[in-house]
Chains A and B, each alone.
Chain A
Amino acid sequence: MHAPRSLPAALSFTVLLLVLSGCELNTAWNNPYPPEHAQSNRIDSAFSEQPAHLDPARSYSADEYAFIAQIYEPPLQYHFLHRPYQLEPLTADSLPVPRYFNAKGESLSAAAPTDQIASSEYVIRIRPGIQYQPHPAFAQDATGNYRYHHLTPAQLTDIKTLTDFPATGTRELTAEDYVYQIKRLATPWRHSPIAGLLTERIVDFADLTAHITAAAPPAIDGNRPFFDLRSLPFRGAEVIDRYSYRIRINGRYPQFLFWLAMPFFAPMPWEAEAFYDQPGMANKNLTLDWYPIGTGPFFLSENNPNLRMVLTRNPHYHAEHYPTSGSDEDRAAGLLTDAGQRLPFIDQAVYSLEKETIPYWTKFLQGYYDSSGVSSDAFDRAIQFDNDGSAALSPELTQQGIQLTTAVNTSIWYLGFNWRDPVVGGTSERARLLRQALAIAIDFEEYIAIFANGRGMIAHSPIPPSIFGYRAGEAGVNTAVYTWEQGHARRRSLIEAQQLLTQAGYANGQDPTTHKALTLYYEAMDSGPDSKAQLNWMRKQFAKLGIELVIRATDYNRFQEKMRDGSAQIFMWGWNADYPDPENFFFLLYGPNRKQTGGENAANYHNPEFDRLFEQMKDMDDSPARQAMIDQMIAILRHDAPWAFGFFPQSYSLNHAWLHNVKPNLMANNTLKYRRVDPIQRDQLRTRWNQPILWPLGVFAILLGGLLLPVIFIIRHRERRSAYQ
């Protein structure tokens, strides 16, 4: 019976040892990173969803761009600091200037009318000397043959990841790589999401797709063998010389330059496909969709989407320098401190899988992540609003040296009315007044306050700030819904909304045919219990006018289906800009772009005058004339009210004091190269903030002992008593 007696003593002794050792160890026990990385020049971040695709032909979402935009380099990029967003060359030596041609192939001036322009031509010259990251696809033997382009099953047996290939190589970036990638966009089995768009825009794109389909070898066990696209003739994209290539566009399409800043148009060496498309590679997850190969500042050195993704500095990265120009605010914020310095600043960026917001937030506060968003759970603790509505950090976070950065997103949430619906849609005055009354009654200020923690800016038009065409202040007010009073936009009263409703023939919200409350139908994306409050709120907005709103909550698949077949009546949806041009918002309301015809005009709005203006505006350069045209288009939309313009979401991001050069750039995805960290300061603060606290363990052990001792005493007492007792 020695064991029970010695248990509390052993526990106490252990805890005492722990306490003593803990006092001496000046380290953070809760550090999730290996000790050898304590002062490494790297960024610690997280991802919540594993990226679905890393192939630049296919990838089209923000969580994927977070990785591939650091690896692949399209010819153009957005200036890191300038606003409004401004394109600049990345691998190109200058911004390409389009040349225009008529149907006979004769050159036209830039001022030529759009209807005379049959095609546009962009000649892009890339800078010589740019090298690819080290990669086994480039590895060659002494005779110049590629070492890993004809792998046998036996050679693949021991290969599990790219690092299992002992040799790597590199080569210079050429114009042919850019043309090769454009041909990949036309390859049906690459499933590029913009293939449909490019079919309309790039000359002979559809023919190339047909050619590839006919000429390519069939798939074997679901995998396509390597099919070399270099030899395929293609007028849409041609190599001029080693460093120049030409892209031909149907008609005039000024927005094409923006596409040239997206990873879709990044270069792809043919060696990559020759390497990855070998039999047996896909079964080991060794595909171009998972192991990118680029010329960017970083390469993906560890690709374990189940655990961790690591970007490491590309040793062959070409000379690129931190911007030397910016605004006064940028200079004041220290964003020009590193002007002219060679990029990138960091050696690595480590992204750990973090699916839940609570541990993410806690680890950010502990200093184990360099930056974070602000989740709804933590919002009240992190952010405070002053009297004029400006957001500021709470004193607790300020004390930690955390900095807050906010930005209005280049996206919009809106309430759409189906133009084809007999009640809320169409050009009748009755329907128009009904829509305007509803636009007044639906209080999006309240929506932002309740459901977005105040992170949103009321939209008066489809154009968000920082996009050409946006007007701030009184000039930008939607007078159909707001009045301008004492320097602020004030939502029109419910009385005005009711008057509009009466004029529409729905006095007090009553349907004149049934003499009951008008019933409208709202299609909702039901995302679970959280959405119930939002749906109830929406119902109340309509009830303010005496209108009964029937909610049709459904999953996202069915919601999309209803949008496509045009059976929804009222709905709420959003749009995130591809590029910073008003065309990318107005096309959501362009008649021929209706959802039912495969476009993105979910409201199925159609106004001939708006469509005419849109067709002119989209081809214009930014100018006062274009602004005037945009103003006209906005006026039409405010009058017709196919949308109740909702709000532009705002993003709030936090970063620790040791992370520098943080400026939100909602168009550029390749901003990792500008980030700089102070690893010494980070390590010191992490250690200071995370000292283990051990005394509660001692208290717990004493309490446990205090409970066990009487138990042992009772047991021993019962054992010793006689049967009679």
Chain B
Amino acid sequence: MTAYLIRRIWQALPILIGVNVLTFMLFFVLNSPDDMARMQLGDKRVTQTAIDNWKAEHGYHLPLLYNASASGIETVTDTIFFQKSAKLFVFDFGLSDSGRDIGYDISQRLWPSFAIAAPSLVIGLMVNISLALLIVLFRATVIDLMSVAVLVVLLSISGLFYIIAGQFVMGKLLHLVPISGYDTGLNAIKFLVLPILIGVVAGIGSGVRLYRTFFLEEIERDYVRTARAKGVHEWVVLFRHVFRNALIPILTGVVAILPLLFMGALLTESFFGIPGLGSYTLDAINRQDFAIVRSMVFLGAVLYIVGLILTDISYTIADPRIRLANS
């Protein structure tokens, strides 16, 4: 296991470097350091001297990727790319271009994102799996057919519609929960009810349909027939045998996104005024704040790689027949 993990982490390094280079190039194709300075200094009355001062103060006066005027290793290290990206590998995110500490902002913003995403995932999983098993129970009947039709309708509806409709019904018509906002500690609960509910409902269409497929693949297997022949109760067959054997494909999807729960959901956070990480990146792109953009992309890439490693590990737990190769 340890050797496997070391190998995977070693393999992740070039991926992270590649992600960094790609982000850097995409960002600077659209935004020059002068554009960034203008965004920070404002449109009005800004002079080229002020722009040059800002760039020098923030390290954007250097060449992008290759410093032809330098010599030796400094041709590479004395560049915007190296100066801004190298520290990321020790998780030193530095200051944003507007002067705020990025690490501090991330640490503040990831918990509200997690507070929505984690319950949405857990409750959503429970609901989706339960409904999928229930539909499987009625497989090849009219109920099955109608359920699939309803699921297709549900998954065809835009996430934005669920949010607006949820806010309209629960917040505006029925006055049951605040329509948006957030608070700290236990006061956050009343703000989380609606986004979590909407997150669960919005995921039913795609989740149930997917899990139904997984369960249908399992339910015709010999071991299921054997269990039934032994007189095992249908609920037990479904929830103990079928469910457990369908766990591998479910885990593939779920464990991989576990670390990304911290990264937040853009639309949900934006509409509910949740100060999470979802809107952090988009705000930074709009403000042309490269320091935040590169940090968030890097963090997303790291968490995604962690998710994939966790998925591999979870296989070994869910299915004892699977072993992680050491070489």
Residues of A within 8 A of B (CB): 28-32, 34, 49-50, 52-53, 60-61, 188-189, 191-197, 219, 222, 282-285, 287, 289-290, 304, 306-307, 352-356, 358-359, 362-363, 366, 368, 555, 557, 560, 578, 598, 600, 690-694, 696-697, 711, 714-715, 718-719
Contacts and interface: CB of A to CB of B under 8 A. Distances in A.
B212 interface: no
14 contacts: A32-B178, A53-B98, A189-B57, A191-B40, A285-B104, A359-B167, A359-B271, A362-B167, A362-B171, A362-B179, A555-B30, A557-B35, A600-B44, A694-B176
Contacts of B172: 362, 366
A193 B44 contact: yes
B42 A60 contact: yes
B106 to A, nearest CB: 11
Nearest to B49: A196
A30 B177 contact: yes
Contacts of A304: 108, 275
B179 A30 contact: yes
A219 B54 CA distance: 13
B104 A30 contact: no
B52 to A, nearest CB: 10
B45 A194 contact: yes
A610 B133 CA distance: 81
Contact of B95 (A61, A282, A307, A692): A282
Contact of B275 (A193, A306, A690, A715): A306
Contacts, number: 162
Contacts of A363: 178-180
Nearest to B271: A356
A32 B191 contact: yes
Contacts of B181: 32, 352, 354
Contact of B176 (A195, A306, A692): A692
Contacts of B164: 358
B247 interface: no
Nearest to A213: B53
A52 B47 contact: no
B237 to A, nearest CB: 11
Contacts of B244: none
Given A363-B179, A715-B234, 19 more contacts: A32-B180, A53-B99, A193-B45, A194-B45, A195-B49, A197-B45, A219-B57, A222-B58, A283-B104, A287-B99, A352-B181, A354-B273, A557-B31, A557-B35, A692-B174, A693-B176, A694-B174, A697-B176, A714-B138
B32 A557 contact: yes
A600 B45 contact: yes
Nearest to B182: A307
A598 B48 contact: yes
A354 to B, nearest CB: 5
B57 A191 contact: yes
B188 to A, nearest CB: 10
A306 B180 contact: no
A307 B38 CA distance: 26
Interface in B157-173: 164, 167, 171-173
B43 to A, nearest CB: 8
B132 to A, nearest CB: 14
Contact of A196 (B50, B184, B273): B50
Nearest to A286: B101
A34 B190 CA distance: 11
B273 A191 contact: no
Contact of B42 (A31, A61, A189, A285): A61
Contacts of B143: 711
A194 B40 CA distance: 13
Contacts of B178: 30-32, 363, 368
A289 B100 CA distance: 9
B20 interface: no
A191 B41 contact: yes
Given A30-B171, A363-B179, A715-B234, A598 B47 contact: yes
Q: Which of B40, B53, B54, B105 has the most CB of A within 10 A?
A: B53
A22 to B, nearest CB: 9
B166 to A, nearest CB: 11
A359 B99 contact: no
A487 to B, nearest CB: 38
Which 10 residue pairs are nearest across A and B when measured between Cβ atoms?
A: A196-B47, A306-B275, A359-B180, A32-B181, A32-B178, A557-B35, A307-B275, A693-B174, A188-B53, A690-B175
Interface string B254-290: 0000000000000000111101000100010001100
B47 A359 contact: no
